[in-house]
């Protein structure tokens, strides 16, 4: 645990280190875990008769009080300060989007499910990215396409896990097109998209049923919505720098610098630790068994008995300190 902590990998107990060594499936959240979580508006697609500025302003107003990276990107793109008094009665709809009164008019900003739920017919955007549909007073205004970039170390992280024989899966609330595009870039084995927080738990339950009897499933996430899934997985791994407090609290392992490449390293450390544990057990029991037999025959001195007791413990401790020198 000390050797892992020195590399920014916080393990909350020895039992989780042991489970990490047995991991056969790693399930990822997408935003903030495999991607940087830094969103930018890449295109605006207003409906007929609507200007780009009107579309963007309506979206930014609806997202005025949200701290989500997508909401922040919309406000940055508008490039103007929004008077908070213009926005009232804000309602966040988990897994769908947000509803708010902007200048006294009801504005909706969210995914396609939100539009259909509110009786608004969205138009296809035809672009890869996170799509935010916007409507005002029941009229569809258009959509904004927001893009996120992969973390530089994400491809190497997935490659390292697959080299260890670990299956990689991604669960995301984004569209099928975005999910498959990211999975293709990273070489993931499986992807499930358009999932609500409750859907992620259900999908994880299905993945848990598919693993082998002694295999371990680890989930990696960073957001508030990931907390239930982190708790349900055999091992929950949270991003510590940008991750929410709820995710960090629910996780068993925390990557303090949000680097997904540390995942493979954490599992290498866990496997090395278990090798040393087995070495020490076999060595200690073997030496003690030998000296018990020699002692019963009267062929061992007091100094031999001291070595079998104290000497073996000292050698085992010295062997264990190898973990502190992990590069």
Q: What is the pLDDT of residues 216-244, one digit of tens each?
A: 999 998 878 888 899 999 999 998 876 67
Q: Are the beta carbons of 152 and 159 closer than 8 angstroms? A: no
**Residue range 231-278, pLDDT digits in tens:** 999 999 998 876 678 888 889 999 998 889 899 899 999 999 999 999
Catalytic, out of 29, 148, 174, 226: 29
Three-state SS for 306?
Answer: helix
Token pair, residue 91, equals 């309602």
CB count in 10 Å sphere of residue 303: 9
| 180, 217, 279 from 320: Cα distances, Å | 44, 27, 10
Question: What gap in Å lies between CA 187 and CA 168, rounded to an integer?
Answer: 9
Average pLDDT of the residues of the chain:
89
Q: Are the beta carbons of 43 and 287 closer than 8 angstroms? A: no
**What are the start-end ranges of the H helices in the chain?**
2-5, 14-20, 52-62, 69-78, 112-117, 154-163, 176-186, 197-210, 227-232, 245-250, 261-297, 302-306, 312-320
**Residue range 279-291, pLDDT digits in tens:** 999 999 999 999 8
User: 310: which DSSP letter?
Assistant: I
Q: Judging by beta carbons within 10 Å of its beta carbon (0-12, 13-18, 19+), is residue 163 exposed, middle or buried? A: exposed
Token pair, residue 58, equals 């309506």
Band of the pLDDT at 324, cuts 50, 70, 90? confident
Tell me what pLDDT residue 326 has: 65
Question: What gap in Å lies between CA 159 and CA 168, rounded to an integer?
Answer: 10
CB count in 10 Å sphere of residue 131: 23
Sign of CA dihedral 286, 287, 288, 290: positive
Closest CA to 40 of 143, 144, 134: 144
Q: Does 252 qualify as catalytic in the annotation?
A: no
């Amino acid at each position: 645990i000390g050797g892992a902590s020195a590399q920014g990998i916080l393990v909350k107990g020895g039992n989780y280190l042991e489970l990490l060594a047995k991991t056969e499936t790693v399930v990822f959240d997408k935003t903030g875990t495999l991607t940087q979580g830094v969103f930018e508006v890449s295109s605006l697609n207003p409906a007929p008769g609507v200007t780009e500025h009107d579309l963007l302003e309506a979206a930014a107003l609806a997202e005025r009080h949200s701290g989500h990276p997508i909401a922040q990107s919309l406000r940055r793109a508008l490039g103007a300060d929004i008077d908070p008094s213009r926005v009232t009665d804000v309602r966040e709809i988990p897994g769908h989007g947000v509803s708010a009164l902007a200048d006294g008019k009801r504005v909706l900003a969210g995914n396609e499910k939100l539009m259909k739920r509110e009786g608004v017919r969205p138009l296809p955007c035809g672009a890869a990215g996170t799509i935010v549909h916007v409507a005002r007073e029941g009229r569809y205004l258009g959509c904004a396409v927001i893009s996120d970039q992969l973390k530089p170390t994400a491809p190497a992280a997935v490659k390292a896990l697959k080299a260890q024989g670990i299956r990689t899966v991604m669960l995301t609330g984004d569209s099928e097109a975005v999910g498959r595009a990211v999975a293709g870039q990273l070489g993931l084995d499986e992807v499930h998209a358009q999932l609500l927080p409750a859907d992620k738990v259900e999908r994880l339950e299905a993945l848990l049923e598919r693993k082998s009897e002694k295999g371990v499933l680890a989930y990696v996430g960073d957001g508030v919505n990931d907390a239930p899934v982190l708790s349900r997985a055999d091992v929950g791994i949270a991003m510590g720098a940008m991750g929410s407090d709820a995710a960090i609290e629910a996780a068993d392992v925390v990557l303090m610098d949000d680097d997904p490449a540390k995942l493979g390293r954490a599992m290498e450390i866990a496997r090395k630790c278990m090798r040393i544990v087995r070495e020490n057990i076999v060595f200690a029991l073997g030496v003690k068994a030998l000296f018990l037999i020699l002692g019963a025959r009267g062929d061992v001195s007091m100094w031999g008995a001291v070595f079998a007791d104290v000497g073996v413990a000292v050698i085992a401790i010295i062997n264990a300190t190898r973990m502190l020198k992990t590069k």
